[in-house]
């Protein structure tokens, strides 16, 4: 039985820089050791075929791990879905889905040829979510340091950026020919 490509999803997290908070406790909470700055974070789930952002998590402080965000929000997938994820989501297994994650290299050994091929296949699919994130971050308000401190405004800005990305992808898909779309998946 073949799986429906429309039920293939990819999950990843993204960070956005914010203005350094004035209060000490907020500075500690929003400081991201990964980016060496003060950030907020969202998880994005993209559809493999349409290349649209189908789910956007709430905005969290940059210190919070991607898996903790997805565990708190617990997005629901349709039955029979396929989910591609990176090692940051290790242990996250939603119901009724088949999850694919890159194999880790065993300590002191090399990956087998099958595992390397499998990892290459997964990274080829996972690049789509990176392209979706870069399409969302074309808006300078999302890419640059966000200086507005109003409550909830950061969520709204990210939602609008996702909506504009999805609109752009709708028009791109409309102009693609069916043969070109079919050639990508064969």
| CATH code for the domain in which residue 72 is found | 3.30.420
Dump pLDDT digits (tens) for 113-131. Answer: 999 999 999 999 989 999 9
Region 65-87 average pLDDT? 92
Mean pLDDT of the chain: 85
- With 80 as the cut, is the pLDDT of residue 174 above it? no
Rounded mean pLDDT, 33-57? 89
- What are the C-alpha distances in Å from 171 to residues 2, 52, 59, 103? 28, 12, 28, 36
Number of domain units in the chain: 1
Q: Which two tokens stand for residue 131?
A: 């392209």
| 179 confidence band (pLDDT: 50, 70, 90) | low
The tokens describing 109, both together, are 């050994």
Tell me the sheet residues that pair with 55.
Answer: 45
Question: Cβ(62)–Cβ(30) under 8 Å?
Answer: yes
**How far is residue 45 from each of residues 30, 73, 129, measured CA to CA in Å?**
23, 12, 8
pLDDT at 181 > cutoff 90: no
Q: Does the structure show a pLDDT above 80 at 186?
A: no
Provide the domain limits for residue 130: 5-185
> Structure pTM?
0.84
Determine if residue 17 is left, alpha or beta; phi over 0 gives left, psi from -120 to 50 gives alpha, anything else beta. Answer: beta
What's the token pair of residue 66?
A: 């991607």
Per-residue pLDDT band for 1 (boundaries 50, 70, 90) equals: very low
Of 92-96, 152-156, 179-183, the one with minimum mean pLDDT is: 179-183
DSSP H or E run through 46? strand 37-47
């Amino acid at each position: 039985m073949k799986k429906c490509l429309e039920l293939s999803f990819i999950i990843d997290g993204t960070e956005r820089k914010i203005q350094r908070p004035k209060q000490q406790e907020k500075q500690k909470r929003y400081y991201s050791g990964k980016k060496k700055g003060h950030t907020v974070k969202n998880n994005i789930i993209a559809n493999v075929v349409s290349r649209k952002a189908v789910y956007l998590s709430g905005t969290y402080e940059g210190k919070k791990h991607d898996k903790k965000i997805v565990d708190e929000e617990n997005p629901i997938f349709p039955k029979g879905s396929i989910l591609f994820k990176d090692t940051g989501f290790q242990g996250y297994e939603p119901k009724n889905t088949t999850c694919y994650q890159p194999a880790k290299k065993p300590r002191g050994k090399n990956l087998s040829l099958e595992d390397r091929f499998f990892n290459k296949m997964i990274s080829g699919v996972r690049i789509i979510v990176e392209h979706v994130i870069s399409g969302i971050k074309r808006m300078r308000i999302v890419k640059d340091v966000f200086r507005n401190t109003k409550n909830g405004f950061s969520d709204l800005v990210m939602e609008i950026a996702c909506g504009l990305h999805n609109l752009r992808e709708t028009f791109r898909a409309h102009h693609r020919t069916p043969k070109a779309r079919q050639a990508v998946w064969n």
